[in-house]
Structure 1
């Protein structure tokens, strides 16, 4: 069975146990329906392991957010094998799906071989989960194929882009925020209309966030994307509330810090994150994951530790407050962590996975400038410091979400100086579904590119990035779909870029050279 056949069988629940999984050790009171309706997932791979995830839910849309599950804990068996049919099981065990954690399961594996494909599944109360494929990271400079995705508003369209991503069978998926949206039904449909409907009510409680995650996780295309490869996940704003900043609600609502803590708890319960990620009311998603000696992913949190947006937020002109060197987006602790990681990196490539547009972006056509204060433009001095650090880092590339449009940009320490050297390139993934079908307004794109000469490509259609990384180059396909308002759209490569690597001694010259594009 090849990988594509495995994906089809796994997501359809057709892979049967050979041999039978060990009997569950929980109460004999069997669940009356399939508890694996939310699928399976893996994440945060290392050289000897990864995280396996599932969450039991016999009725995902149960209004109390408990997924139709009883108030008792439930035992869940798990297996890891080196083959799709589970004839060569290398690890197995039993975990407890606790009622207080929405019956979620996080199994952290260690002791496996580096650079290997593994297959996994769960069993509970006589029911078998779909199977998933995952992978440990290699020991050397093994090439890597990875996808970059972000922004998946359920109401705005079908998740066909997830399905197309899964069909390309990447080694790794990097997801950069807005996995789910907190709005109530039709809470954000002015641009895209409504193709599907959110569960009732805006997410404000733990039950509400759990229910919304369950609605999203019930989608078969999303389940396919999770089952095909390990994910590196981080959140942006909509996993909690639109444009929140640190302890500050964008709406000024009372009790926001409690609401944020509940949203973080539901996010952890529904993601393949390690147990140490959730630390009371704080959710630590800034972390480093290395792909052998080839690449290091530096995952950032650009939301939890930032100062409030300047000048009342929005796209504005003439906001001098945004230029203050006292303003921070990353927070002091995360800044020191990132500086240490960049300075100490020994991998050939360094990939920053983060949420918001880093390149300067002028939204005003003609004289004057208008910028988005929720992006790095609202924290310009810290961006300058970060770009200075990247200029001393081997082969830096910035991966970004949030914008709902593909972007390809050159990052400079001075965006207003045409002669300023390029220190890194920013690859921005369009959305999986947010803003609906999208469009290609060629006049608008031409004007945007003219106002921002360091940005060379923009595409407003839905899609994702598919990248191939080797010792010598990073090749990136900007994948697009012409529609998501109905099912079945094919994906195509609308733009391609190849970025050559450079040794540490010639990095500055290589950064100044233009990449190849198709």
Structure 2
């Protein structure tokens, strides 16, 4: 099925790899695969002022049962190139990396020494096989107040619930940066995660437990052409949520089993597969059952991106993980971020001189009272289950004088635009920040859209919609504009995208101003 909305830029980036086939010389590889090894695409990520990470993973048979993608049990040399133009006439860097079976033949090239704030193109070669070309960019120089930053963010892509058209629409928005805030893939096996709109396409295999299982699930996810397009269009900054490992996990606690050795082995496997399949720096190489994912990306003087990990260090969910309150959720010893990550974040607030401080994280920060009347019912898997932790973070950015704090959130499969407060029970309490929550790429399947506006229990929730999609932001020195992008269906490919609502956050004016609704 052809997509009439495919952009010229998408075609150029996809086709550029073959435009100069004879230019890239073949490396002296230890083993040259006979079939195309670039079936999982290419990606870049974690930009700095002088570099970024380039990624690919070799797989001639992506769904091979052993999780190794049909590759031989020996190293394979992969050559890479970086150029200033998409025809690769002005090559600035090249080299060879060895893809080893211990890391599922993944390649992570960590580049430095490039020029700040500019666009680059890259590609890989293995034997006679050439990858598609990708576009990426370096971050602006430190202290530089740059031109506008177009940043898109997404989360929650259940394979069986629909097609990944939202990623294609992100690519067509020509972003400078893409954030993925978790649930990049799901651990459930075929029919293990039912949805009312039906199964759009079957997932391969059962629930993921072993390293081979997680490698195969990531590989199937990476075969999607819309996801490959989005990865090749801009650098990505990724963090996980729960389904990269298991639903509602918390530190060493499984949702049901508790802290068993079996779960820790599963955690170790999931973490290794996540690193193998993402454009991450060496600082994120797993160390046993631990993996460093919280980090800071600086975009000149315009924005600091504080990427948080709200799963690996959290206290177990209060109230047995069901809805609260039960008194445990306000315990000051409980934490969503862990003490070390909290200290790191608060120090980042104090040191920040950026125009915008963006917190990329997983679960909803604003209070969400789900019950009408005086009884308060909240979700213990979100910041509502860790109210003291939320208070410390919020007071941290207030005390540090952060100029424009904005929280970017995923997880919940619905769009939200929230004003943030210290006291959500006082309707007159001042607004101290804003939260933008993206809906899912596919999870929960088709939704026609429902008007949730005017919730008297949650007046700080300014917008709420249940359609699939993503959020597109344009950030300048004077404002942040957020467009809530929605798709009418995901059960079929190539749905159009439209803007359901838009909000503006003005410089030094906490909270959201509605810009427009139902705009293109």
Calculate the TM-score normalised by the size of structure 2.
Answer: 0.94
1:371 to 378, 385, 388: 378
What is the rounded CA distance, in whole Å, between the counterparts of 1:294 and 1:497 in structure 2?
19
> 2: CA distance between counterparts of 1:477 and 1:339?
29
Verify the 8 A CA contact 1:407 1:459 in the aligned structure 2. yes
Q: 1:228 and 2:233 equivalent?
A: yes
- 1:55–1:270: 8 Å Cα contact kept in structure 2? yes
Are positions 1:157 and 2:162 aligned together?
yes
Q: 1:455 aligns with which of 454, 457, 461?
A: 461
Secondary structure of the 2:69 match is coil
Alignment of 1:55-454 (within 5 A): 55-139=57-141, 140-142=144-146, 143-252=148-257, 254=260, 255-281=262-288, 282-314=290-322, 316-391=323-398, 392-442=401-451, 445-446=452-453, 449-454=455-460
Note if contact 2:453-2:464 (Cα within 8 Å) is conserved in structure 1.
no
User: Is the CA contact 1:294–1:347 (under 8 Å) kept in the aligned structure 2?
Assistant: yes
Identify the residue that residue 464 of structure 1 maps to in structure 2. 470
- Structure 1 segments (4+ residues) deviating >6 Å: none
Contact in 2 for aligned 1:83/1:118 (Cα 8 Å): yes
1:492 aligns with 2:498: yes
Tell me, in whole angstroms, the C-alpha distance in 2 between the residues paired with 1:4 and 1:111: 32
Alignment correspondent of 1:481: 487
Give the secondary-structure state (helix, strand or coil) at the position aligned to 2:60. coil
List runs of 5+ in structure 2 lacking aligned partners: 1-5
Task: Provide the rounded CA distance (Å) in 1 between the counterparts of 2:25 and 2:17.
Answer: 19
**Take 1:220 and 1:441, find their aligned partners in 2: how far apart are those partners?**
30
* Partner Cα distance (2:370, 2:231) in 1: 35
CA distance in 2, matches of 1:270, 1:22: 26
List per-residue Cα deviations over 1:120-152 (Å, max 9, x = no partner). 000001100011000001121112111011111
C-alpha separation between the residues in 1 aligned to 2:321 and 2:122?
45
Considering only aligned residues, what root-mean-square deviation do their CA atoms show, in Å?
A: 1.5
Name the SS of the counterpart of 1:451 in structure 2. coil
Correspondence for 1:48 among 50, 72, 77: 50
**Offset from partner CA, 1:194-228 (integer Å, 9 cap, x none):** 11111111000000000000000000000001000
Contact 2:419/2:512 (<8 A) preserved: no
Q: Conserved in 2, the CA contact under 8 Å of 1:38 and 1:217?
A: yes
Distance 2:496 2:512 in 1: 31
C-alpha distance after superposition, 1:442-496 (max 9, x if no partner): 3xx247x222111010010001111110100001111000101111210001100
Cα gap change, 1:83 to 1:309, in 2 (>3 Å): same
Q: CA deviation at 1:16?
A: 3.2
CA distance in 2 between counterparts of 1:464 and 1:446 reads 19
Instruction: Return the offset for 1:13.
Output: 7.0
Structure 1 residue 418 displacement after superposition: 1.2
Distance 2:94 2:7 in 1: 25
CA distance in 2, matches of 1:154, 1:42: 22
Count of paired positions: 503
Could you tell me how far 1:283 is from its partner in structure 2? 1.2
Q: Does the Cα contact within 8 Å between 2:29 and 2:76 map onto a contact in 1?
A: yes
2:26 maps to which residue? 23
TM-score, length-scaled by structure 1: 0.95
Task: Name structure 1 gaps, 5 residues minimum.
Answer: 503-509
Q: For residues 218 and 418 of structure 1, what CA distance do their matches in structure 2 show?
A: 48
**In the alignment, what sits opposite 2:513?**
515
Q: Whole-Å Cα distance in 1 between the matches of residues 9 and 81 of structure 2?
A: 16
